Amino acid sequence: MYNELIKKEKKLAVIGLGYVGLPIALEFAKKISVIGFDINAQRVEMMRNKIDPSGELESSAFDNCDIQFTDSLDVLREANFFIVAVPTPIDDHNLPDLKPLLGASKSIAAALKKGDYVVYESTVYPGCTEDDCIPVLEDITGLKYITDFKVGYSPERINPGDKEHTLAKITKVVSGCDEESAEEIAKVYEIVVEAGVHKASSIKVAEAAKIIENTQRDVNIALMNELSIIFNKMGINTYEVLEAAGTKWNFLKFMPGLVGGHCIGVDPYYLTYKAQELGYHAQIINSGRYVNDSMGFYVAKQTVKKLIALGVDINKSRVLVMGATFKEDVEDIRNSKVVDVINEFKSYGVTVDVIDPRASSEELKHEYGFELVATPRTGYDAIVVAVNHKEYKNYTEADFKKLGSDKSIIVDLKGILRGKIKDLNYWSL
């Protein structure tokens, strides 16, 4: 398979062209022939015109790429090596939602032929590829797993907004259904991954490796969030504590904050779901999830308490929230925990305005029911810097005074304003 891809005798297809799939597709397209497949025809048309719908890549990223963007299954049938990079969200009950993954598997099944390879990159619980995805491929095609087609798993490690840790620079974990497929899949990824690959012993091991990457971060951030709640009761600043503790060489430098997005705030639920299915209740992971999922409400409640202490009439109060995306310097609003802050404010009768230089007001309205204000007003009782976009890092106390008043509270969730606020009321996690 590798040799035929290199010679452009066969084509590689990437299914799902979002934050993960598009960079992968374009990177491969610099070396081999690629089909970029997405079910959203509007997004496909944008990419044909060298526009990244996610807003991550410049138009120059599309230059000198041998790639055909399509939403047609007929075109997809021209491929022989399929990479699946669709989202794996959770539902309203924090249970895995496999519909995008199984839908992508059905699309591939319509194009799958003897001798083809399928590699899943979407984050799943261990066993999902073999127990949930492969049966779809077999049932629809009538082909036999391993005998007629090969399957592997190679977890995505792309970090949206991170221009340093790109696909080529991060070691790629790969796996296959047998020794032959593991070797071929490794060679294919080595075409674009300069950092090299790590061959996991099985598909399940590769799946597990991915899911614990984000679970580990989630648990550690939860610890920092819990510490911030404790330190707040003690009247000391968490970031100052962490700065002091961080002088020790082996101190792990995690920070408190809102934990959302499509990875860290989601992946642990895939692991706890599988653990529960196997009869084990994951206590530490679930506790971490509870703490992190509660932080948005905590931030709003603390702010309201401080406003009341200042004599502000909550029903007449106005708050400006700066930032609505799930993290800094991205357009992605999926599973943004800033929404929890906003909704909690509203439950107290607070009037909330939201600004964000990256987020789409239309998408926020569709997903969460609120819009951005084009221009913030003045006289805000509290200003919450919820996302540390680079546009906000140069804000001075004078800028905040123009937006608020001499008694306004500045809530700095990431501690980026520490030391800059002298006259106004200041609080951070």
Residues in the chain: 429
Q: Report d(CA 101, CA 87) in Å as an integer.
A: 7
Q: What is the pLDDT of residues 205-230, one digit of tens each?
A: 999 999 999 999 999 999 999 999 99
pLDDT score for 160 = 66
Q: What is the pLDDT of residues 299-322, one digit of tens each?
A: 999 999 999 999 999 999 999 999
Q: Report d(CA 320, CA 329) in Å as an integer.
A: 19
Coil, strand, or helix at residue 361? helix
CATH of the domain at 304: 3.40.50.720
**Is residue 234 located within the same domain as residue 145?**
no
Beta bridge partners of 6: none
pLDDT score for 56 = 85
Assess contact for 61 and 28: CB atoms under 8 A. no
Of 275, 271, 280, whose CA–CA distance to 123 is shortest?
271
**318 within some domain:** yes
Beta bridge partners of 12: 34, 81
Percentage helix, strand, coil for the chain under 3-state DSSP, each rounded to 5: 40, 15, 45
Q: Into how many domains does the chain fold? A: 2
Q: What is the mean pLDDT of residues 80-103?
A: 95
**Is residue 195 located within the same domain as residue 305?**
no
Final residue of a domain: which of 157, 175, 201? 201
Q: Report d(CA 350, CA 276) in Å as an integer.
A: 39
Q: What is the pLDDT of residues 335-357, one digit of tens each?
A: 999 999 999 999 999 999 999 99
**Is residue 270 located within the same domain as residue 154?**
no
- For 246, the domain range is 217-428
Angle at alpha carbon of residue 363, lines to 349 and 384, rounded to 5°:
40
pLDDT score for 131 = 97
**Is residue 196 located within the same domain as residue 317?**
no
- The pTM of this model reads 0.92
Assess contact for 177 and 152: CB atoms under 8 A. yes
Final residue of a domain: which of 201, 227, 254? 201
Q: Which residues of 86-117 are buried (b: 16+ CB within 10 A; e: fewer)?
A: bbbbbeeebebbbebbeebbebbbebbeeebb
**Is residue 269 located within the same domain as residue 378?**
yes
**Is residue 257 located within the same domain as residue 177?**
no
Q: What is the pLDDT of residues 117-129, one digit of tens each?
A: 999 999 999 999 9
Position 159 pLDDT exceeds 90: no
Q: Report d(CA 216, CA 123) in Å as an integer.
A: 15
**Is residue 183 located within the same domain as residue 223?**
no
**184 within some domain:** yes
**Is residue 305 located within the same domain as residue 331?**
yes
Q: What is the mean pLDDT of the chain?
A: 95
Position 96 pLDDT exceeds 70: yes
Q: Is 263 a catalytic residue?
A: yes
